[in-house]
Chain A
Amino acid sequence: MNAFLASNAELIITIVKIALLLFIVLTVNAYLTWFERKVVAHMQSRWGPHRVGPHGLLQPLADGVKFLFKEDPTPAGVDKFVYYLAPLLALALALTSISIIPFGPSPIRLFGHDIYLGIAPPDLNIGILALFAITALGVYGVALAGWSSNSKYPLLGGLRSSAQMISYELSLTMSVVGVLLIAGSFNLTDIINAQAKHPERGILGWNIFPQILGFICFFIAAVAETNRVPFDLPEAESELVAGFHTEYASFKFAMFFIAEYTSMITVSSLCAIMFFGGWLSPFPASWTVTHYLPSALLIPAGLWIIWDGIRYETIFGKIILPGVGTVLTIAGIALLMPNLLFVNEFIQAPFWLLSKIFVFLFVYVWMRGTLPRFRYDQLMAFGWKLLLPLSIANVIVTSFVILKWGAQ
């Protein structure tokens, strides 16, 4: 047994990492739905979910149980194979794409092996291309779901989505070329490191400043790729019932749902990595005091949750919330301990990356609460006549600048 473990250590580590990441991503997905409902509700002066658990925190669990136990009818006349394949494909591709994202620069040393945060090896030369390849296949989930349902609204939704996703994929790919030219590499770790060439500059070294146009194009195209508001025409409920997943119920619907939220996470991580310095701190490297920022956030947050929990209405909330708050506070204090400082140093990179991802997820939700949906012809005209020329112009300007002054 031990010999087997030793000889296949890499394999076993990867499998454990996959299981762990799967668990984390699915949990985050569940709470992302809660977060979205809560934020949109507050934007519209509502309370959002607040019945199940304190502050509705158990709502995702209830939703999950509902998805699992609902009846799952297969409509008559569907193409069975493709009908079952489509949600599987959507979910599998969305989850695969997140495995390419690196979450931190330095490995954890465990059992004599360097364990990197992230599943793909950090020297994956075609990182960003592999990501694009996987997202490029993502369109099949939606298109095939629309086609196989044998119903008119899903078909229209599927057609719309495949046209939309092909169109915006061009802008998506073109808009990152500027970043790739600056970094001179497809590798995501290299791209981040290229933004850290001048550690004393901090935030000013990030790609967002030379590539602001590229970022705008990228983010818009990415929102369109993930079929989110204001580009959610494939599932426009006022026109197409629910678009491509009209005929899907129960867990197959949940699979589309999870796929959508997972690709939101992937896109947010990409935005953070490509344009916002990934795991780099926005402060100059000499400001070591900013390394206590995680504690400075955790302790007040924990204290606030304790205070909020004490005055909470239900007994359950009175027990759970202060408990969570205490854990957060203790974690924050622990990070300040001198003999745990190495932990604090280690979590700096993931802390910044995750904060940035969270900000982008918030922007997603914010847009959903704010923007109306595009009309279909507006969507196509916007993609082809504005976004694509802009991103190509960005590539041309960037390459001329790099040719003249070199990539700084």
Chain B
Amino acid sequence: MTPQLLIFFVLAALAVLGAVSLIVQKHPIHSALSLIVVMVALAGLYLLMGAEFVAAVQIIVYGGAIMVLFVFVIMLLNAGIEEHTSLSKFAGPPGLLLVVALAGFLAATIARSTGTVQAAAQTGTMSSTKGISNMLFRDFVYPFELTSFLILVAIMGATVLAQREKS
């Protein structure tokens, strides 16, 4: 077993454990912490794949901003332990069916793919930061500008939503 494979299995186990813990935990803060574990593990996997810029962005934006926002809101609302109401009739069986169907579909697709997708260009490290910035500002410049518009809309939306109505 190569060291890389070992690191992969450790990180993958960490990610799956975190994801399971996200579902099993009763308190939202514990769920949020589990999700942070998943995200950090995924960042480690990105590093393993040589996508260092994405790894850093993953931790800075997901770990440092989005999840902090979640934790912040949980603290702000003083959200307690999840109460267990009886599932609505529609959520239980059809939901399970959906999950099983999805898992089956994914498993079938993966099983059908023959062999490993052998890496085409694994020679050296693709200087990902420079390459990404070139793509982002040349090939994907319009989508990129659109995302800035999206963020603007999101800021305005959040501000309007969070405002207390004047009474």
For the complex, give the distance between the alpha carbons of A135 and B29 in Å: 20
Most B CB atoms within 10 A — which of A79, A139, A163, A169?
A139
Interface size class of A (residues with CB under 8 A): 20 to 34
Whether A162 lies near B64 (C-beta < 8 A) is: no
Chain A residues near B30 (CB-CB < 8 A): 81-82
Whether A133 lies near B60 (C-beta < 8 A) is: yes
Chain A nearest CB, measured from B128 CB (Å) = 8
Whether A132 lies near B56 (C-beta < 8 A) is: yes
Determine whether A146 belongs to the interface, using a CB cutoff of 8 Å to chain B: yes
For the complex, give the distance between the alpha carbons of A350 and B36 in Å: 37
For the complex, give the distance between the alpha carbons of A279 and B146 in Å: 42
Residue of A with least CB distance to B58? A133
Whether B64 lies near A136 (C-beta < 8 A) is: yes
Whether A143 lies near B68 (C-beta < 8 A) is: yes
Chain A nearest CB, measured from B124 CB (Å) = 13
Knowing A143-B72, A147-B71, A159-B72 touch, does A126 contact B53 (C-beta < 8 A)? yes
For the complex, give the distance between the alpha carbons of A129 and B51 in Å: 13
Determine whether A298 belongs to the interface, using a CB cutoff of 8 Å to chain B: no
Whether B129 lies near A126 (C-beta < 8 A) is: yes
Taking CB atoms and an 8 Å cut-off, the chain B residues in 121-136 that contact chain A are 127, 129
Determine whether B16 belongs to the interface, using a CB cutoff of 8 Å to chain A: no
Determine whether B87 belongs to the interface, using a CB cutoff of 8 Å to chain A: no
Whether B72 lies near A129 (C-beta < 8 A) is: no
Residue of A with least CB distance to B69? A166
Chain B residues near A196 (CB-CB < 8 A): none
Whether A82 lies near B33 (C-beta < 8 A) is: yes
Whether B56 lies near A133 (C-beta < 8 A) is: yes
Knowing A140-B71, A147-B71, A166-B68 touch, does A159 contact B76 (C-beta < 8 A)? yes
Chain A residues near B75 (CB-CB < 8 A): 143, 146-147, 155, 158-159, 162
Interface residues of chain B: helix, strand, loop or mixed (majority): helix
Interface size class of B (residues with CB under 8 A): 20 to 34
Knowing A159-B75, A159-B76 touch, does A129 contact B53 (C-beta < 8 A)? yes
Contact indicator per residue, chain A 61-97, by CB within 8 Å of chain B (1) or not (0): 0000000000000000001011001000000000000
For the complex, give the distance between the alpha carbons of A163 and B71 in Å: 11
Residue of A with least CB distance to B75? A147
Contact indicator per residue, chain A 104-138, by CB within 8 Å of chain B (1) or not (0): 00000000000000000000011001101111110
For the complex, give the distance between the alpha carbons of A125 and B59 in Å: 16
For the complex, give the distance between the alpha carbons of A166 and B55 in Å: 19
Determine whether B18 belongs to the interface, using a CB cutoff of 8 Å to chain A: no
Determine whether A144 belongs to the interface, using a CB cutoff of 8 Å to chain B: yes
Chain B residues near A79 (CB-CB < 8 A): 27, 29
Whether B52 lies near A137 (C-beta < 8 A) is: no
Whether B65 lies near A166 (C-beta < 8 A) is: yes
Contact indicator per residue, chain B 94-134, by CB within 8 Å of chain A (1) or not (0): 00000000000000000000000000000000010100000
Residue of B with least CB distance to A169? B64
Contact indicator per residue, chain B 6-39, by CB within 8 Å of chain A (1) or not (0): 0000000000000000000001011001001000
Chain B residues near A155 (CB-CB < 8 A): 75
Knowing A126-B52, A147-B29 touch, does A133 contact B59 (C-beta < 8 A)? yes
Using a CB–CB cutoff of 8 Å, the interface residues on chain A facing chain B are 79, 81-82, 85, 125-126, 129-130, 132-137, 139-140, 143-144, 146-148, 155, 158-159, 162-163, 165-166, 169, 173, 186
Sampled A-B contacts (13; CB under 8 Å): A82-B30, A85-B33, A126-B52, A126-B56, A132-B56, A132-B60, A133-B63, A134-B59, A136-B68, A137-B59, A162-B68, A165-B68, A186-B129
Using a CB–CB cutoff of 8 Å, the interface residues on chain B facing chain A are 27, 29-30, 33, 36, 40, 43, 52-53, 55-57, 59-60, 63-65, 68-69, 71-72, 74-76, 127, 129
